[in-house]
Amino acid sequence: MSAPGFTNLGSSVSYSQNSTPNGGAAPPYQNGPAQTYPSMYPPTSYYGAPPQQQSYPTIPAHSTSVPSKAPITNSAHSANYYQNNHQPQQQQQHHHPAQHHVAPSPYSAPPRSAPPSQPYATLPSSAPPPSNTQYNQQPFQQQHPPYATPGSYYGQQSYHAPPAQHPPQQQQQQQQQSSLVPAPASGPGAPLYPIVSYPSAPGSSQYGTLSSSQSTSTSGVMPLHMGAPLHQYSTSQPASTTPVQPGYGVAPPSQMAPTVNGQGSTAQTTVHQHYDQSHQAPQSYDSYGRVTHSAGGADADRPPSGTPSTSVHSSPGHHQGMQYGYVANSGASSASAATSGPAAAPSSSSSDDDDDEEEEDEEAGGDTSSSTTGSASPVPNSYDSLEGGSYPDSMPPSNDMTNQAQPYGSYGYPNMQPAYRQGPASHADASPTHDLYGQASYQQYSQPFPNLSQLSAALGGLSGVPELEVEALRPVNLLQERNLLPPRPLEAPEPNLTPDLKKVNCSPQTFRCTLTSIPQTQALLNKARLPLGLLLHPFRDLQQLPVITSNTIVRCRSCRTYINPFVTFLDQRRWKCNLCYRVNDVPDEFMYNPVTRSYGEPHKRPEVQNSTVEFIASSDYMLRPPQPAVYLFVLDVSHNAVEAGYLKYFCESLLENLDKLPGDTRTRVGFLTFDSTIHFYNLQEGLSQPQMLVVSDIDDVFIPSHDSLMVNLKESKELVKDLLTSLPAMFSQSRETHSALGPALQAAFKLMSPTGGRVTVFQTQLPTLGAGKLQSREDPNQRSSTKGVQHLGPATDFYKKLALDCSGQQIGVDLFLLSSQYADLASLACISKYSAGSVFYYPSFHYIHNPAQLEKFQKDLERYLTRKIGFEAVMRIRCTKGLSIHTFHGNFFVRSTDLLSLANVNPDSAFAVQMSIEDSLADSSLACFQAALLYTSNKGKRRIRVHTLCLPVVNQLSDVYAGADVQAITCLLANMAIDRSISSNLSDARDALVNAVVDLVTAYKSNVSNLQQSGLVVPASMRLFPLYILALLKQKALRTGTSTRLDERVFAMCEFKTQPLQQLMRMVHPDLYRMDNMSDQGALHLNDTVVPQPHLLHLSAERLSRDGAFLMDCGNVFYLWIGKCCNEMFIRDVLGCPNYASVPPNMGSMQSPRATNKNPHVKPQSHIPELETPLSERVRAFLDWLQDNRAFSSTIHVVKDDASAKATFFQHLVEDRSESALSYHEFLQHVQLQMSK
Amino acid sequence: MAFTFAAFCYMLALLLTAALIFFAIWHIIAFDELKTDYKNPIDQCNTLNPTVEKVKKIKRVKIALKLVLPEYLIHFFFCVMFFCAAEWLTLCLNLPLLAYHVWRYMSRPVMSCPGLYDPTTIMNADILAYCQKEGWCKLAFYLLSFFYYLYGYGFIFTSCSSALRINDSHRALVFYLRMSNM
């Protein structure tokens, strides 16, 4: 994954240097740089982990501890990272020895006490019209054509422009800040500034630049940054000499922007381009914007002194490092800081040896930093976070972290940057290195993308934010306007906050609220007729994540809120909680900023600079010592299972991924098979071959042996491999048709109780024996009934009770149901639902007859086995006083009104929360939500991931509508409808959905819209609402009248509850593109590939034409529909068939999943043949780009116009009338009718 | 002695209602604890570690939730008693609650054991609020019926034993009032 990004970046940008050092592996990193820092960050900073996922946790002891663990790939990455990081550091050190105050690590230390300006402190009030400022900046960028061109590298040119403008802006900002900020803070900061300039500055500068571009306010920073960047760039990019460019990721962005957006402001576009290169420009933009803003604040602080520039100059790498560091700051803070900057750019030139040296340096720096911290403050905050994860396995991340840390400290950019990093990271994903990590890493990377896309949207908005708000309120008459879809997938609306807050706010991918403007009272909320709720994806793979190790985790004394960017510092020693408004003391330890190695600027700490951070928790947060990762596989081997043939593929997949299972040297595995009896496997080390122990007493299951069934994976690996190799053959002759799933689960529970862990259950039929046996409840004749559907709830509470027992013992159960018959998923799913597991369902699975399902199964399994995992988790959601949590949706057990118990937490499941307003929020202009996820990483570290979201409170109905997030609302309503259909019945749920539309239109008409228009008038922000609701009503989960198997319906409901928003929206309302005439207009330039950006089409058959080819993106599957008269060139160039008639009927799914896997660096993402034609390359580039942000890779099906598969394609055209459902127009008329009643 | 079967029923109902009041109060407390659990700052994040106090509290809540069936049975029991004693008015007053109990138990979630509350949905704000409201309503009902039974007992006692002087019935009233205060 990373590789592509890198390469691209490298090519386009000057980053090439980075790439060179790394070599193959390096590319990702390089890419990272290219992408701008983001890529770099991810690895270094705490997140670094994300790519390597688990690396951080294990890593605790920096390099020493975990090296072995990391897969080869990891090491490669790490190496790259290191190189980058190290090099930068070295370079920086060399260049700017003088500058570095801190003896050990030049950069890290940047002693500067912090710039006074505290973003938070200023908060909203200060917020100058952010949007405007941003816009202004954009013009600038636009003016600079060069930026636009990716090749030139943004950088320089764009930067130049900014500097001039920026200075004034900076001043303004500074002034604003100063005024806003409490006196105390500013005071100390000022003196420090000069110091600040250091090395870190470069990195920050980059950020700053970015931000500056987006927001004028930050501009002040720009100049300094520019200087820094220039250095970097100069080194990296011969072409662009200007210092400014390098520093700023911004410059690059400008380039990107043009290409990508086309739409937004040029400046933004540039930024975007970087992202775009990586993947989704838009989201990245947003993140940038925010980041930059925040950074800007920090930058502003710096600008005053010329020194910063010098530092920057010294090492280009520094710049990058700074940037990184910024990211890193959290973890790396102290140690990393020194190393940070340089790594990226310089590294390219430096050889491996250099890298090594750098590594050493980093380590040294780290040590020093830690020591410094210790000395500085009695209570050392060791931001060792980096170490924890990064060093051992994923060295690179750690380095990055360190690097990042420095910049961070110096600038305080960290918050925003992480997001950026993510963007880059995603780019990086493309790079080959990812392959090493395996899909998991890939996916992780990919996730960032969505952000990018969102960002892009936001970016578009950036320039015209004010306009956006106006636009959001524009009344839209649905009966008259037919083209409602935006050209690109919809982005999350931006909350109307000050730029400072926007910069640090949580990514909409992680944390999204249905109303980005919170109504002041419940009465106002009721008036708006919109649901208030949150959509959370708390454990998603992040590209960058500040990891903080600190002796004391600063929390509010009364509500236990973690300190976050939205608290107010009353003075140096006190802060006011933003949730309960209690005034707390700032602990001594917190006064010391390990990033900058300065004392007395608590507002510069990474916790206060990032809305998403991760803490390494102390033993206070442990109930028992962290348990190892324990995996138990429970396999159905009855006759039915043998027939379906899944066992062979499971064993193959597990064999392949055995080394990639998240965990450390303590990892334990076990196997258990069952038909009418239960078979245990003794894998004790020392045995010559696995021993099977059969327990036939299923009424009273006992464990035949207590210590040899769950074995250490490392010690018994050979036996495990033996078992996996022989397992498929062992049962090939099985004639046993019964399935004793219940007793098998009980056995699994007993086996796992002492440690907790993950149980993976494969089941192929209805359980027929022992406890928990089920009867078939489905009446096939009722499948298409319009009257309501029976049996959506469980038939027995056996599975629920067992799940609760499991949850209590910290056991998560994941269910893979591969059944061709009814298997009562409604009952079986309970085992996963309440133990925080996940459910996978493959209807009609058969290894020969259903290759599409087999392929999906294999892909899912690979992701499943290698994805990150957290054990013994709990998640608490806190919100501002006055708000309260109403209901949770997702897979978990609710332990308390705001506490979820998650035995396992995985990066692919999301949660929804309904909120209510209990007390008026009138005494506050901001509402905050904080989700804290406490978990044990697979390396046995206790960690807390904290996300904080801040939203404005409004008292006008029109503002509420302007801030409505139609996608989030749709998803929340879907969750509520699922609940309703289970607790009441399906038709109730459907009526409730229709009523939601009717209520909205009525409420808007009577309260806001002054126009006495006839017809359906809704605010523009909600213009897609009726369409989405109609699409919901046509989903498998909620449709009536169309034949739907009960299990498939129940599975669709499970997915609604657990899928993250982006994925869910694609399932509900797929994206349709025309593929045969894609132009380069508005295309993204990622690295060296061009990703065309075709426009979204309405889901209606009238948008299709026989002479075209259309791609429908349904989230987990792509359909490529080929019209009868489709251009033969397209068929030939893309599908490799001479003409339409020769296209095989089920192409795509027929091909081997590994057919395209010749190149180890390129993951087989699509099954379109790899042809060397420009058209094919473009189509594949687009498909890969779409896939890049998904956890589970999608399969692609080629659908011919005359094929029987056509029906599956056309059922997704939700705007058309189907046999039993209304067309969009009819639906609107129906709503109108309801209104007049 | 005019201690009729009806009077016995009233006396029994009086005692049992006192128990029901106790149940209702426990019920209310249990749900309140459930709801306000998060306000306890002590058990911050590490709720994984159930402290002794917490375990105690959980037990208390569990016991309270298990009292549902006894409560229903007790109420059903003295309804039958009133039926046998042909106290039609009293029975009519109790019928709505009896019907509610039957309905409530019929519509309980799928469970293999007796019980009414599903631990996985109990924290849903709607259900929690409903249960709390139910607790208060029942408390009010039981309190009212307690005094009604007291009055009914006294009434029957006096009407059945006209030989008794008013003072005696007063004495009985006082006696039972004392009892109720215990």
Greatest mean pLDDT among A248-257, A515-524, A777-786 lies in A515-524
pLDDT in tens, A23-76: 333 333 333 333 333 333 333 333 333 333 333 333 333 333 333 333 333 333
Instruction: Give contacts of A833 with chain B, Cβ < 8 Å.
Output: 120
pLDDT at A724 over 90: yes
For residues A71 and A659, the answer to whether their CB atoms sit within 8 Å is: yes
| Rounded-to-integer distance, Cα A1132 and Cα A1147, Å | 14
Determine the average pLDDT of the residues in A727-742: 90
Decide: residue B63, CB within 10 A, 0-12 exposed, 13-18 middle, 19+ buried.
exposed
Give the residue, A830 or B61, on which the prediction is more confident: A830
A77 has a pLDDT exceeding 70:
no
**Per-residue confidence (pLDDT) for residue B174, from 0 to 100:** 61
Instruction: Answer whether A932 sits within 8 Å of B124, measured CB to CB.
Output: no
**Residue pLDDT, tens place only, A979-1016:** 999 888 899 999 999 999 999 998 888 887 666 666 78
Q: Name residue B115's amino acid.
A: G
- Inter-CA distances, A530 with A459, A490, A534, A972, A1004, Å: 26, 19, 13, 10, 11
Percent of chain A at pLDDT above 90? 27
Mean pLDDT of chain A: 67
Q: What is the ipTM of this complex?
A: 0.78
pLDDT exceeds 80 at position A202: no
Sequence-separated (6 or more) residues with CB below 8 Å from residue A1108? A1074, A1075, A1076, A1077, A1123, A1126, A1127
Q: Is the per-residue pLDDT at A884 higher than 60?
A: yes
pLDDT tens string, chain B, 182 residues long: the values are 456 788 888 989 999 999 999 989 988 888 887 777 644 433 333 333 344 445 555 666 666 667 788 889 999 998 999 999 888 999 999 999 999 999 988 888 777 777 778 777 777 888 888 989 999 999 999 999 999 999 988 888 777 655 445 555 566 666 666 665 55
Angle between helices A221-236 and A316-340 (to 10 degrees): 100
> Cβ contact (<8 Å) for A801 and B46?
no
Chain A CB within 8 Å of residue B40 CB: no
Report pLDDT for A204.
Answer: 34
DSSP string, A398-456: HHHHHHHHHHHHHH-GGGHHHHHHHHHHHHHHBSTHHHHH-HHHHHHHHTHHHHHHHHH
**Chain A neighbors of B46, CB-CB under 8 A:** 620-623, 934
pLDDT at A517: 92
For chain B, domain boundaries: 5-180
Residue A378 has pLDDT above 70, yes or no: no
Residue with tokens 């990150």: A868
User: How confident is the model at residue A583, as a pLDDT?
Assistant: 92
**Residues from chain A contacting residue B125 (CB–CB below 8 Å):** 884-887, 897, 914, 916
pLDDT band at residue A300 under the 50/70/90 scheme? very low
| B128 to A897: CB separation less than 8 angstroms, yes or no | yes
pLDDT value for A914: 93
3-class SS of residue A592: strand
- Residues from chain B that touch A582, judged by Cβ atoms under 8 A, are none
Q: Which of A1064, A617, A653, A635 is nearest to A870 (CA)?
A: A617
Query: CB of A811 within 8 Å of any CB in chain B?
Result: no
* Shortest Cα distance, chain A CAs vs residue B111, angstroms: 5
Instruction: Determine whether the interchain pair A885/B34 forms a contact, defined as Cβ–Cβ distance below 8 Å.
Output: no
Of A271, A33, A234, nearest to A150 by C-alpha is A271
Confidence of residue A172 (pLDDT cuts 50, 70, 90): very low
pLDDT digits (tens, 9 = 90+) for B56-102: 556 666 666 677 888 899 999 989 999 998 889 999 999 999 999 99
Structure confidence at residue A1059 (pLDDT) = 92
What would the two tokens of residue A983 be? 């607790």
CB A904 within 8 A of CB A838: no
Angstrom distance (rounded) from CA A56 to CA A396: 10
Which of chain B's residues have a Cβ under 8 Å away from the Cβ of A829?
none
Closest Cα in chain B to A885: B125
Highest averaged pLDDT of the listed ranges A342-346, A824-828, A1182-1186? A824-828
Nearest CA in chain A to B122: A894
A622 touches chain B (CB under 8 A): yes
Which residue among A623, A796, A876 places its CB closest to the CB of B110?
A796
Q: Tell me, what's the pLDDT at B39?
A: 41
In sequence order, which residues have a C-beta less than 8 Å from that of residue B129 and are 6 or more positions away? none
DSSP at A713: T
Q: What are phi and psi of A202, to 5 degrees?
A: -55, -50
Which tokens is A763 given?
């089941």
Q: Which residue has the higher pLDDT, A279 or A580?
A: A580
Secondary-structure breakdown of chain B: helix, strand, coil percentages, each rounded to the nearest 5: 75, 0, 25
Checking if the pLDDT of A1207 tops 90, the result is: no
- For residues A956 and A1008, give the distance between their C-alpha atoms in angstroms, rounded to a whole number: 10
Q: How many CB pairs under 8 A join A and B?
A: 85
pLDDT score for A662: 92
Nearest C-alpha in B relative to A931: B45
Separation CA B13–CA B122 (nearest Å): 31
Q: Does A872 touch chain B (CB under 8 A)?
A: yes
What's the rounded Cα separation, in Å, for the pair A208 and A323? 9
B residues 114-133 near A, CB within 8 Å?
119-120, 122-126, 128
Q: In what order do the strands lie in the sheet with A574-576?
A: A568-571, A574-576, A583-585
pTM above 0.80, yes or no: no
DSSP 8-state code for residue A721: H
CA A527 → CA A517, A966, A989, A994, distances in Å?
A: 14, 17, 21, 17
Q: Which residues of B touch A884 (CB under 8 A)?
A: 125
Residue A926 CA neighbour count, 13 Å, CB half: 28
Q: Which residues of B touch A618 (CB under 8 A)?
A: none
**Residue-wise DSSP of A999-1046:** HHHHHHHHHT------S-EEEGGGTTHHHHHHHHHTSTTT--SS---H
Angstroms from B51 CA to nearest CA on chain A: 10
**Better-predicted residue by pLDDT, A10 or A474:** A474
Q: Tell which wins on pLDDT, A920 or A299.
A: A920
- CB-CB under 8 Å, A916 with B125: yes
Residues of chain A with pLDDT > 70, as a percent, come to: 60
**Distance of alpha carbon A483 from alpha carbon A476, whole angstroms:** 11
Alpha helices in A105-154 (DSSP H): 119-126, 130-143, 145-148
pLDDT in tens, A1015-1034: 788 888 898 999 999 999 99
B41 touches chain A (CB under 8 A): yes
Query: Per residue in A99-149, pLDDT tens?
Result: 333 333 333 333 343 343 333 333 333 333 333 333 333 333 333 433 333
- Listed by number, the residues of chain B in 145-174 with a beta carbon closer than 8 Å to a beta carbon of chain A are none
Q: Do B125 and A895 touch (CB under 8 A)?
A: no
**In A, which residues are within 8 Å of B44 by CB distance?**
555, 560
What pLDDT sits at residue B47? 35
Higher local confidence (pLDDT), A503 or A419 = A503
pLDDT of A1165: 38
Higher-pLDDT residue of A185 and A601 is: A601
Q: What is the pLDDT of residue B79?
A: 92
Report the gap between the CA of B128 and the closest CA in chain A (Å): 10
How far lies A323's CA from each of A89, A244, A287, A342, A686, in Å? 12, 13, 14, 10, 51
Which residue stretches of A777-836 are H helix? 798-808, 825-828, 830-833
Pairing of strands A1117-1122, A1195-1200: parallel
Select from B33, B107, B108, B120 the residue whose CB has the most chain A CBs within 10 Å, as the one to mutate to test that interface: B120
Work out whether the CA dihedral A1051, A1057, A1063, A1064 comes out positive or negative.
positive
Nearest chain A residue (CA) to B125:
A886
| Residue A1089 confidence class, pLDDT cut points 50, 70, 90 | confident
* Cβ within 8 Å, pair B46-A934: yes
Q: What tokens appear for A809 in the block?
A: 């013992």
Per-residue model confidence (pLDDT) at position B62: 67
The mean-pLDDT minimum among A422-436, A689-703, A1216-1230 falls in A422-436
Q: Residue A889's pLDDT is what?
A: 93
Q: CB distance A893–B125 less than 8 Å?
A: no
Judge whether residue A923 has pLDDT over 50: yes
